[in-house]
Structure 1
Amino acid sequence: MLNKDALQLILDQALAASGKELGTDTPVALVPQSTQVVNLEEYMPGRSRFRGALSTASLEDFCGYVLQREVAGTQGYVDQDAMSCKVFFNLGDLDHPGHADDTANLKLKPTAAYKTLLAIAGSTLTQKDLAEWMEDWAQFLTATDGEASMGLVQAIAAVRNITIKAASERTHQEGNFNASRSAMDRIEAESQDKLPDALHFALVPYEGLGQRTFTLRLSILTGGDKPALKARWAGEEIQREEIAQEFKRVLSDKLGESATLYLGSFNPGN
């Protein structure tokens, strides 16, 4: 007479031999609990299919890789805020969904010049800080006073030589029935040399994109004992948007018909 363990072993072997499939949307098979599914791919001469994930900050290398792959149905998603793009080579479609595990990822890094622009824009700087920054990036900078251009050496000297002057003006009036007094204090910042009102910074914001000129409007803060300066990025939002649009356009031009691009990000799920 067969005991319980023997009956269970016979049942497991029968299930293992049949591997009965169930009619579910996601394909599954009925197998005994004691049976394991083993992936034999590691024992094969090669992988059962190609998949991988390229990550790079180089626009040229990213586009070169996508073009070299030449996979039909390649789809890419461009995140303009993050200046990134993710391409799926095996995403598939609604009728034939793919595994979505063969990808290429591009995340642009700002150039050193663009990093320093982002750091200085809107910051409050001492005379020394701004003058030294202008000296460090002199090859990319031009200075203007209104519509007139001025030498950068002169502009740096003017920034170094700013002084604060304070003046008071008082008035006193008397009538038959009243008397009034007023006082007005005026604080001015001036320099021995003509101060620039704007700096123009010509640079490439990201590798693979074109050169742009960014305008920094200078203002002097006189609230403290020493003058401070602020560089305001004129038209910041517009230029950021233009850079993002150029990113999408350059990707489209370089990839051509090798990938269909969409704006946004995509998560293939599990």
Structure 2
Amino acid sequence: MFNKDTLQLIIANAMAAAELPSTDTCLAALPESVKLHNLERYQSGRSRFRGTLSTQSLADFSNYVIDRNSTDAQGFINQDAMLCEVFFNLGDETAPGHADDTAVLRLKPTAAYVALQQLAGKKLSQKELAEWMEDWRNNLTAEDSGGDTLSMIQAIAAVRNITIKASAERTSAEGNFHANRSSMDAIEAASQDTLPAKLHFNIVPFEGLGMRVFTLALSVLTGEEKPALKPRWVGEEQQREEIAKEFKTVLTTEVGGSATLLIGTFDANK
């Protein structure tokens, strides 16, 4: 009579010897106790080249792709994430590769572009906006509601010196059968200096791309005891699209014919 372990071994060997279904993928039936070991680390060199270069430098990314000199390199550009991933061994339907030899570029936003995104649409005190303008004054130009250019010293002073003025108008009419009373409160923001209506921010949004002008339209909010200001990024969505298109154009120019570039993402692990 066989013990339990012996019976399990006989059954496992019988299953391993059984004919397997025909598939496009190689299959093998092995006993559960069998383990596979990769001996590559004991070789003098790796079985094949693989790895991932990750960088925020467009120049270094382009040089790496060009130096690899791979005729089958394929790249995918994620415009929303400002990211590009190039596969050097993706292969095709006839001869698929392992897709584990890659280069990844993720453009880094500049400090100025980060500052713009943090500011746009935010409700700010006079002090907060004035200090922001002072920090970036070398990149800013200001204009009033008539389109005339203001000096930054004048624009900053105007923001700091905003005051709220309130006035009230009341009317009253009485007759034999009715009495009407109405009131209207007018609140306006004024400054000793001419307030800027727009700020133009001249910056490079991402390292490797060109200079752009971003316009912030200023609104003064008078609903509270102290005035607040809200800068609106004019044409934000359009400018984001333009930056994404420039990303692809610059990549295509830099990489040249060293890789085929497509818009989108590719998941090689599925």
Give the alignment's TM-score, normalised by structure 1: 0.90
Structure 1 residue 29: deviation in Å? 3.9
Structure 1 residue 230: deviation in Å? 0.4
Pair 1:162-2:162 in alignment: yes
Pair 1:119-2:124 in alignment: no
Structure 1 residue 159: deviation in Å? 0.4
Q: Distance in 1 between matches of 2:266 and 2:157?
A: 52
Q: Which residue of 2 aligns with 1:91?
A: 90
Q: Distance in 2 between matches of 1:207 and 1:256?
A: 19
Stretch moving more, 105-114 or 27-36: 27-36
Q: Distance in 1 between matches of 2:201 and 2:101?
A: 40
Q: Is the 1:22–1:29 contact (alpha carbons within 8 Å) kept by the matching residues of 2?
A: no
Q: Distance in 2 between matches of 1:259 and 1:141?
A: 39
Equivalent residue letter for 2:133:
M
1:27-38 residue pairs with structure 2 within 5 A?
Answer: 27-30=26-29, 35-38=34-37
Q: Distance in 1 between matches of 2:163 and 2:150?
A: 20
Q: Encode CA deviations 1:151-191: one digit per residue, 9 max, x unaligned.
A: 01000000000000110011122345433221100011100
Give the alignment's TM-score, normalised by structure 2: 0.90
Equivalent residue letter for 1:107:
R
1:1-270 residue pairs with structure 2 within 5 A?
Answer: 23-30=22-29, 35-145=34-144, 146-270=146-270
> What's the RMSD between the two structures over aligned residues?
2.4
Q: Distance in 1 between matches of 2:232 and 2:94?
A: 53
Structure 1 residue 24: deviation in Å? 2.6
Change in CA separation of 1:161 and 1:27 when aligned onto 2, cut-off 3 Å? same
Q: Distance in 2 between matches of 1:63 and 1:189?
A: 52
Q: Is the 1:122–1:233 contact (alpha carbons within 8 Å) kept by the matching residues of 2?
A: yes
Q: Distance in 1 between matches of 2:31 and 2:160?
A: 83
Equivalent residue letter for 1:80:
Q
Q: Distance in 2 between matches of 1:35 and 1:224?
A: 75
Identity of aligned residues (%): 60
Equivalent residue letter for 1:269:
N
User: Alignment partner of 2:85: what SS?
Assistant: strand
Q: Encode CA deviations 1:129-149: one digit per residue, 9 max, x unaligned.
A: 000110000000000013211
Structure 1 residue 34: deviation in Å? 5.4
Stretch moving more, 179-188 or 150-159: 179-188
Q: Distance in 1 between matches of 2:166 and 2:104?
A: 58
Q: Distance in 2 between matches of 1:243 and 1:74?
A: 25
Q: Distance in 1 between matches of 2:55 and 2:243?
A: 19
Q: Distance in 2 between matches of 1:265 and 1:62?
A: 18
